[in-house]
Amino acid sequence: MTTLEGKVTSAIRWSAINSLLQRVGQVGVGVLLARLIAPEQFGVFAVALVVLNIVLSVSEMGVSVALVRTERPVAELAPTVTTLSIASGVLLTAVCVIGAPFFADFMDTPQATGVIQLMSTALIIAGVSAVPGALLQREFRQDHKFAADTTAFVLGTATVIVLALLGFGAWSLAWSRIVTNLAAAVVMFAYTKERYRPGFSPRLAREALSFGLPLAGASLLVLGVMNVDYIVVGSILGTVPLAFYAQAFNLANWPVGAFSQPVRSVSLATFSQVRDDQELFQRTFARALGLLALVTVPACVLLAALADPIVRVVYGERWAPAAAALALLVLLGAFRVALELGYDLLASVGRSKAILVIHVIWLVALVPLLALGAHLDGIRGVAAAQSVVVLVFIVPAYLIAFRPYGLRAGALGLAVARPAVGGVVMVAVAVGVQWLVADSLMRLILGGALSLAAYAAVVFPLRHEVLGLLRRSKA
């Protein structure tokens, strides 16, 4: 019989393959679209995406997470979760359709109104597919999630490229998002054996909402935290700087999606199953954090140290202003990888209110500093404000929340010590190459190769951690 460790290892492997292929594909498509679609049109799409991302975070009120972690029979809770998810998706779609003109005017981008209204239909898709997605996560079926995401990516990419070539601009990106979400939902339904029709139990609804609403509130704050910078940039600096900032943020987010997502796909379910054994709980979290640091640090350092040549070579000269924010946003991305794992740990033990408080602090501290940064140094100032808030307020807040579970800063620091040292060595090598080499392409090639070699030498003793993860699928 397959053990929990075997299920987790297999799920991480499939999720890692999925995330890496998705990210590589998205980078390739992003490069093509950057040369087909003007920065102004990217700015319009970014405005619409802010709305969709924020509202998606609360579209099913956190109740799907309750389904992932519940100890009740799934068949007992799933009909109620289905009803709540669909109802909230329909309601929020209506809110977005009505409110789109007002938000677009606030962002001084009225042409985004129709794009927002179109993309809001993704909320209904998310509500309908919430239960199948939660069941795949609960059962560690990342192989099925891989099939869903791959199908969605292929269809969504075909849509955006064809429409972009036809001159649809921001609308091509919006239609692609709808096609992607719909395709993923269809495949997830196809792989889900159980079919749960909408039903409703007031008792189970209260139970799911008592856990889910604080978590949904925290998710709203998380997306608020990760999107309020777009609002500040768009409203203070304008649509074109917003396009440059969005491109930099998307590139900086690559390590988060490629390396954090595979672990997060199983971390909530895994932490939930070992939470009663404190020693195993601590060891599981520390090991996951160490593995994430091992693969995330070199990617983040490369993006930060080689920001200017990367943007110029990959996206073209007209996107060069994006490099100003990229290095600082990569620092934020590196911390997000660790903080999102901490988010899942707190969620697994039912600390949804603690998550909510942390993100209230985050948002309250962030808004004034983002505005100050925008006025002082444009998009680079906004990126700097993000990193300052994380270092000064959020990392300490998470460490305080971890204390009841025996997780101390010293032990967690040891888990990431060698990758951190390797990252410092990488920075020194990459900066040295920047000083000595003038050509952008050669700086990128030499800086990347030499700094990666230096990092590999530092972390070589940890190679067994990654090799063991790749080789084990069953115990």
Nearest to 58 by CA among 227, 289, 282: 227
Q: Report residue 410 as tokens.
A: 């010293």
Q: From residue 356, give the alpha-carbon distance in Å to each of 57, 109, 208, 289, 336.
A: 13, 31, 17, 22, 16
Supply the pLDDT for residue 389: 92
| Least confident piece of the model among 67-81, 115-129, 301-315 | 67-81
* Domain spans of the chain, in order of start: 4-471
Q: From residue 401, give the alpha-carbon distance in Å to each of 307, 342, 397, 411.
A: 34, 9, 6, 15
65 pLDDT more than 70: no
- Measured at the alpha carbon of residue 30, what is the angle toward residues 26 and 36, in degrees to the nearest 5? 145
| Least confident piece of the model among 35-39, 94-98, 224-228, 250-254 | 35-39
Supply the pLDDT for residue 369: 94
267 pLDDT more than 80: no
Q: 36-40, 53-57, 121-125 — which one is most confidently predicted on average?
A: 121-125
397 pLDDT more than 90: yes
| Least confident piece of the model among 19-33, 307-321, 343-357 | 19-33
Cα separation, 276 vs 271, whole angstroms: 9
Q: By three-state DSSP, how is residue 57 classified? A: coil
Question: Do the Cβ atoms of 172 and 159 come closer than 8 Å?
Answer: yes
Give the predicted TM-score (pTM) of the model.
0.67
Residue whose entry in the numeric block shows the structure tokens 């919430």: 130
Cα separation, 207 vs 213, whole angstroms: 10
Instruction: Report the 10 Å Cβ neighbour count for 365.
Output: 18
Supply the pLDDT for residue 214: 64
Work out the angle between the directed axes of helices 417-436 and 278-305 (0-180°, nearest 10).
0
252 pLDDT more than 60: yes
62 pLDDT more than 60: no
Supply the pLDDT for residue 475: 42
* Per-residue pLDDT band at 145 (split at 50, 70, 90): confident
Supply the pLDDT for residue 266: 67
Q: Report residue 168 as tokens.
A: 């649809």
1 pLDDT more than 50: no
* Per-residue pLDDT band at 310 (split at 50, 70, 90): confident
Supply the pLDDT for residue 317: 81
Q: 56-60, 80-84, 402-406 — which one is most confidently predicted on average?
A: 402-406
Q: Which residue has the higher pLDDT, 157 or 28?
A: 157
Report the length, in residues, of the chain: 475
Supply the pLDDT for residue 443: 81
* Per-residue pLDDT band at 421 (split at 50, 70, 90): very high
Supply the pLDDT for residue 173: 80
Mean pLDDT on 275-298: 82
SS3 content of the chain, % helix, strand, coil (to 5): 85, 0, 15
427 pLDDT more than 50: yes
- Residue 461 has what DSSP assignment? G
Q: From residue 454, give the alpha-carbon distance in Å to each of 61, 293, 447.
A: 46, 16, 11
Give how far the C-alpha of residue 234 lies from the chain's centroid of Cα atoms, to the nearest Å. Answer: 21
Cα separation, 298 vs 305, whole angstroms: 10
* Per-residue pLDDT band at 474 (split at 50, 70, 90): very low
Nearest to 348 by CA among 442, 276, 290: 276
373 pLDDT more than 90: yes
* Per-residue pLDDT band at 371 (split at 50, 70, 90): very high
The one-letter amino acid code at 96 reads: C
Q: Which residue has the higher pLDDT, 227 or 55?
A: 227
Mean pLDDT on 277-302: 83
Write the burial class of residue 60 (CB in 10 Å: 0-12 exposed, 13-18 middle, 19+ buried). Answer: buried
Average pLDDT, the chain: 78
470 pLDDT more than 60: no
